[in-house]
A and B are shown apart, each in its own frame.
Chain A
Amino acid sequence: MTGNTTAAAPVRHRQWTRARVLLLLKRILAYTVLILLSFLCLFFFYLLLVNASRNHGDIQTGFSPVPGAFFGKNWETLMSSTELPVWRGMFNSLLVSGCVALLSTYFSALTAYAIHTYQFRLRNFAFKFILLVMMVPSQVSVLGFVEMMNDWQWTDSFMPLILPSIAAPAVFFFMKQYMDSALPLAIVEAARIDGSPEFTTFNMIVLPIIKPALAVQAIFTFVSSWNNYFTPALIIKTKELKTLPILIAQLRSSDWLKFDLGQVYMMIALSILPVIAVYLCLSKFIIRGVAVGSVKE
């Protein structure tokens, strides 16, 4: 795209052809690698769909590259089960993951902004403190957490699943690192000169600039919350509040009389669809965010 019209001198022309061949080779390499990797990635989804269309006995006896004839039947058994409120579970998962994505990206950005922009005495301490606790495996604190939720009688509600996401050290760390490389302090100072209040500067000027980072982390937090089984399994007890991973685990561990791998795979396939949709929406947003960024420069 760049520069192919400006070639004038014959000497430069020769260089350009060599460069073009190299570029072509590079392009071929890039496409080959990408197609291979894409095949690898998509293969598992295909497999999932194939297995969702087969019955338990067939899946147990091995692998098949072609879909079976049980898609409709698996769907029906899944939908007719009273112990598995699939749609309710999907709604719960959407609600929880949506709130988690929103809260964790917004507040992490705010926290990162505080440490990135302001000079205050505890700044360094705060930063290192968050970094240090980021190192703690979540599995370590979760049992104390559940005990506490029991004491507060907060179990069996969405609050313990949503509120802690306000403090997400890894998301914060990403925002901080991103701001280091993409948010010049000069912009903040310019806003101040224009008389913009601090909180407004953050909401109206800083957030649009770091949109790509926000979109990226929103996806990541949404997905990890969507797939989280560990904490919800310890907190949620009522059928109506169960999220999808709990329902899937329930399916997988059902007894040998009812255990049905076809149904399990159907449920897994179904539970992936919403995340793909969310991802497709947000990934467009990343690309648009980039366009905004380049106009700015």
Chain B
Amino acid sequence: MKKIIALLLAAVLMLPVCALGAEAEGSVLNIYCWNEEFKTRFEAFYTMPEGVEVNWVITPSTDNAYQNALDEALLNQEDAAADSRIDLFLVEADYAVKYSDSDFTLDVIGDVGLSAEDVADMYPYTKAIMTVGDALKGVSWQACPGGFIYRRTYAKEVLGTDDPAAVQQFVSDWDKFGETASKMKNAGYFMLSGFDDAYRCFSDNMSAPWVVDGMIQKDPVIEQWIAMTKEYTDLGYNNKANLWSAESSAGAGADGKVFGYFGPAWFIDFSLAKWTLADSTAEPAVGNGSWGDWAFCQGPQGFSWGGTWICAAAGTDNLSLVKDIMYKMTCDRETLAKIVEEYGDFTNSVETMTQMASGDYRNEFLGGQNHLALFLENAQNIVRAMSTAYDQTCTEKLMAAMVDYFNGVVDLDTAWDNFFTAVEEVHPELSH
């Protein structure tokens, strides 16, 4: 039913365009996004046809401003002049479903015109998130599989080895992970930096969606994360840091006592590597802080974290251009390979990444390890069909509410109550 409406809507909106033929496509391509991540890649690798101008509408995501602006524009799409209609917009993993499960996005295959073959090589989970019914409502140039990044020196000291394959044996499931944590604690180290580190491992593997029929779920997998984190906190296995806090980054420094962090490719390059430097003015090299003293293993559970998808807006007046951009930026292997080289993204092509993984790629920060192969396996294992439009709110509010429980300020029931209250304030249609 929904799909029929979507198709009808799309058909009606595009009638005038189609009637005039492809030549009459709009002269302005409007792209809505919240940062310059896509813009830099787009400008580097896509050549616009003559006579069409790109209009970037960049709204910061602070205080939900991006989604507010995007929603207003989408809701006014029908009344807007052809050249001011949204053509493309970007969404993030935590709220992607809000847009994919709506009539405002076009089916990439059915409406936009990419073929099933074009998207066949993409990682399955990147398609699962954006699939509603039979329709694929957005595509991404990147995949964000994660793993466990640990400090080699501490591994050698406590576990007797720093070889990724051997260390993986010590953290291959959560029981072993806990045992290793206890060993680390006895040696004076913290297994994890803080409360939220392991969250994505669990939230990406939930047994049910956050919300079912308007009821917020207490998922057993999430309860497992809470119980484990509370236990780790009380036993002193973690450094009690919040995600992105100064304490969390200091844990990776030369004097830091944190054994490991969970994260995807972008976390290693952008966050962790910088935290490890003792002298940030000097070249990042072995000997500068703990740089180079790290290694990557798969950890207890495959998971993903983050990611940006491109959606085509219903009512676009540049459909063939939209199709071409989507193809070039997310399906074209040549472009994807260049993005890996230029920007260090883990791109969304199984084949490209497999080729690069088997090459002579070495990551000096990870002590010369070629970790792409490990990422590959994790990326294939990600199952993410549990997304809802409420994931962003639930994740943020859960972390905030549970900190009080971990710190012993409130008991577990109060923390859950605070979580439910916070979510229901934001989404009045929900209850528990």
Residue positions of A touching B, CB distance < 8 A: 55-58, 60-63, 68-70, 83, 233, 237, 239, 246, 249-250, 252-258
Cα–Cα distance between A56 and B59 once the two chains are bound (Å): 22
CB-based contact B280/A57 at 8 Å: yes
Task: Give B29 Cβ to nearest chain A Cβ, in Å.
Answer: 17
- Besides the known contacts A57-B249, A61-B253, A258-B35, 12 further A-B residue pairs in the complex with CB atoms under 8 A apart: A57-B275, A58-B280, A60-B274, A61-B250, A233-B63, A233-B65, A239-B58, A249-B63, A250-B60, A253-B34, A254-B35, A255-B34
CB-based contact A237/B266 at 8 Å: no
Q: Point out the residues of chain B lying under 8 angstroms from A250, CB to CB.
A: 58, 60
Q: Point out the residues of chain A lying under 8 angstroms from B61, CB to CB.
A: 253
Cα–Cα distance between A61 and B250 once the two chains are bound (Å): 5
Q: B54 interface residue, CB < 8 Å from A?
A: no
Q: Point out the residues of chain A lying under 8 angstroms from B266, CB to CB.
A: 256-257
Q: Point out the residues of chain B lying under 8 angstroms from A233, CB to CB.
A: 63, 65
CB-based contact B65/A55 at 8 Å: no
CB-based contact B36/A56 at 8 Å: no
CB-based contact B270/A252 at 8 Å: no
Report if A253-B246 is in contact (Cβ < 8 Å); known contacts: A57-B275, A60-B274, A61-B253.
Answer: no
Partner among A62, A68, A70, A237 whose Cβ is within 8 Å of the Cβ of B69: A237
Task: Give A76 Cβ to nearest chain B Cβ, in Å.
Answer: 15
CB-based contact B36/A254 at 8 Å: yes
Q: Point out the residues of chain B lying under 8 angstroms from A62, CB to CB.
A: 246, 250
CB closest chain-B residue, reference A73: B281
CB closest chain-A residue, reference B251: A61
Considering only CB atoms and an 8 Å cut-off, how many residues of chain B contact the other chain? Answer: 26
Residue positions of B touching A, CB distance < 8 A: 34-37, 57-63, 65, 69, 246, 249-250, 253, 266, 270-271, 274-275, 277, 280-281, 343
Q: Point out the residues of chain A lying under 8 angstroms from B277, CB to CB.
A: 57
Cα–Cα distance between A74 and B108 once the two chains are bound (Å): 41
CB closest chain-A residue, reference B34: A253
Q: What are 11 of the A-B contact pairs (CB < 8 Å)? A: A55-B281, A61-B246, A61-B249, A62-B246, A69-B281, A70-B281, A83-B36, A249-B65, A250-B60, A255-B35, A256-B270
Cα–Cα distance between A83 and B57 once the two chains are bound (Å): 11
CB-based contact B36/A255 at 8 Å: yes
Partner among A55, A56, A70, A255 whose Cβ is within 8 Å of the Cβ of B37: A255
CB closest chain-A residue, reference B65: A233
CB-based contact B62/A249 at 8 Å: yes
Cα–Cα distance between A12 and B57 once the two chains are bound (Å): 78
Task: Give B90 Cβ to nearest chain A Cβ, in Å.
Answer: 10
Cα–Cα distance between A98 and B73 once the two chains are bound (Å): 31
Cα–Cα distance between A199 and B34 once the two chains are bound (Å): 51
CB-based contact B253/A257 at 8 Å: no
Q: Point out the residues of chain B lying under 8 angstroms from A68, CB to CB.
A: 281
CB-based contact A258/B37 at 8 Å: yes
Task: Give B428 Cβ to nearest chain A Cβ, in Å.
Answer: 16
Task: Give B144 Cβ to nearest chain A Cβ, in Å.
Answer: 11
CB closest chain-B residue, reference A63: B246
